[in-house]
Structure 1
Amino acid sequence: MAVRVHQLLNPLSQARVMSAAEAVRTFVEPGAVLGLGGQNINRCPMALVHEVVRQDIGDLAVVGCNLSLPLDHLVAAGLVARTEQGSGNLEKFGTLFSWRRAVEANRIEVRDYSHLSMASRFLAGAMGLPFMPVRSLLGSSVLERLVAEGDAVVTADPWSGEPVVLVRACTPDVSLIHANAADTDGNVVIDGVTSHEVDMVRASRHVIVSVEEVLPAGAFDDQPERVTISGAYVSAVVEQPWGAWPTSVYRRYDYYESEIDGYQKSAKAGDEGPRRYLAEQVRAHADFDGYLAASDPGGSSRAAMAEQMRSLL
């Protein structure tokens, strides 16, 4: 009865639940400022990024704190015009090689920030402010470039007179994140670290969330403290089990080292490896389930990573 009442009160509940193809087609446009959730090898929105690649949506400005595997796929696909980030790497697996080559060849524009200053830019956007004061960039060459390009201003704290940096708010046109669960009203649960995502979501015009499972409306009514992101900020919910694969989802599955390492080795060798990966592993399949079935026939690798995560809890 509770589910029925919720659905009657909010007839838009079911409208939020879409396929990845429908959500990306509806909310991601060429030239968009695209926010990416996830951090390093944890909870990256791989299923949604695969769909952006399939639909060949380009001229994107990609923003985030540490832009990792999803960014490298987008760059290898030739869909990125600019990035604004704290870093671009995959921890022990190294830098993002497609992204680095594109930067070195001046094929894309890069605006470097610290992680804290990027997170502060999203906070400013979430609060409806034009800028946010920070101190993390003071004394750095990164700040010198941002000031020269008009993206930051050094001023004085009006009370102490000490220098502070004003960084421009970041307000993505659409952000992509992957989470543990959501209900049909769009209320999202993220277990573990959230990084910059909550403020990035609140600062965004549209938000697409892929989740391991979609629950009925009202599923979190008796545990409201579990809700990380209110459905008020969510444009579309996509149910996609294993949607962060081969990166990890806390409490669900660990990252799959073999695939990440294999991709990185091919990316380090040149542009042809990532392009072949996208052709064979992404564009060759109608959806993310097709990719999973082809890359892990029978699901043995996924089962092993789920068991590995259980052993860590």
Structure 2
Amino acid sequence: MHKLLTAAEAVARYVPAGAVVGMGGQNINRCPMALVHEVIRQGIGGLTVVGCNLSLPLDMLVAAGLVVRTEQGTGNLERYGTLFAWRRAVERGEVGVGDHSHLAMATRFAAGAIGVPFLPTRSLLGTDLLADLVAAGVAVESADPWTGQPVVLLRAMTPDVAIIHANRADLSGNVVIEGVTSHEVDMVRAARATIVSAEEVLPAGAFADRPEQVTIPEAYVSAVVRQPFGAFPTSVYREYDFAEPEIKEYQALGRAGDAELREWIAANLGASFDDHLKARDPAGTLRNGLAEQMGRLV
């Protein structure tokens, strides 16, 4: 079935207000920026955002006032600093937080992916995080019935919608991701719907003679969006590197305050992600340089 939609169509159809949104990408790698921009354009609020490292896209959603809760392993841009809008919103009590380890979050997605209500892990044992998750009804301390050793039972996570960015997809929704996938494959399998933006969209059946390349099969994908540079300013392995000046500029605004971030968002989103790219890089010089830089790396 033909699953190609525009970002506006896909977000309007599959991201309702109040949704639990599974976020793809990690830190400054392959974040679904084009799809997040569209969520902000449409003003879809009351969101709970879940993932392992919730980074730049989460901060933009929080700065736009669209997030009420996050459940995650961490929220930062590593050497570029914390997520300032998110941190301030948490400190003000405007956004609730369910802190996990990365492994604990991945375990919850894995449980959702295979359709069981929980999975056991030893992650979180001996930490303060565990007590908070037990109180929230997300985790239960138990014992291995064979050895009696302590384990943690973690409740399955099944997002209403997962949003990810990929290298390639075909019209049927078969998806190819180059490099690290982290939690994304299980997150997509656990989600009720999935939107995938991709650098390139190929005809249906493009991977029929090379099925081993498919990272996520079409059965788990609801919509495909063609969007070159759809992760900008984060990177896509084998496609382009991350745009450090853009990330540093955003972080400087984040340190300055929420009003500065809202002004930046209003001034830079444009009517589409292509408009955003043209505004930030009118001649394409930056994007071409990032592609060349990635070419030298791989």
TM-score (norm 2): 0.99
Who is 2:223 aligned against? 236
- Pairwise CA distance, 1:145: 1.0
- How do 1:175-194 residues align onto structure 2 when only pairs under 5 Å count? 175-194=162-181
- Pairwise CA distance, 1:149: 2.2
- Pairwise CA distance, 1:118: 0.2
* Number of aligned residues: 298
**Equivalent position amino acid for 2:23 in 1:** L
Counterpart-to-counterpart distance in 2, 1:131 and 1:263? 38
Who is 1:289 aligned against? 274
Counterpart-to-counterpart distance in 1, 2:214 and 2:174? 6
**Equivalent position amino acid for 1:127 in 2:** I
Who is 1:114 aligned against? 101
Deviations 1:56-99 (A, max 9, x none): 00000000000000000000000001000000011210110000
Q: Which of 158, 162, 172 matches 2:159?
A: 172
Who is 2:203 aligned against? 216
Tell whether 2:249 aligns with 1:262: yes
Counterpart-to-counterpart distance in 2, 1:242 and 1:39? 16
Percent identical across equivalent pairs? 66
Show structure 1 runs of 5+ residues with no match. Answer: 1-11
Q: Which of 300, 307, 311 matches 2:285?
A: 300
Deviations 1:172-214 (A, max 9, x none): 0001000000011100000000000000000000000000010
Who is 2:138 aligned against? 151
**Equivalent position amino acid for 2:274 in 1:** D
2:148 match: secondary structure: coil
2:166 match: secondary structure: strand
Root-mean-square deviation over aligned CA pairs: 0.6
Counterpart-to-counterpart distance in 1, 2:214 and 2:239? 17
Counterpart-to-counterpart distance in 2, 1:49 and 1:148? 31
- How do 1:199-210 residues align onto structure 2 when only pairs under 5 Å count? 199-210=186-197
- Pairwise CA distance, 1:274: 1.1
Tell whether 2:153 aligns with 1:162: no
2:283 match: secondary structure: helix
1:267 match: secondary structure: helix
Counterpart-to-counterpart distance in 1, 2:11 and 2:209? 32
Counterpart-to-counterpart distance in 1, 2:78 and 2:212? 31
Who is 2:60 aligned against? 73
2:173 match: secondary structure: coil
1:243 match: secondary structure: coil
**Equivalent position amino acid for 2:90 in 1:** V
Counterpart-to-counterpart distance in 2, 1:209 and 1:134? 30
Tell whether 2:286 aligns with 1:309: no
1:303 match: secondary structure: helix
**Equivalent position amino acid for 2:78 in 1:** E
2:201 match: secondary structure: strand
- Pairwise CA distance, 1:54: 0.1
Counterpart-to-counterpart distance in 1, 2:276 and 2:137? 42
**Equivalent position amino acid for 2:254 in 1:** A
Counterpart-to-counterpart distance in 2, 1:214 and 1:147? 43
1:274 match: secondary structure: helix
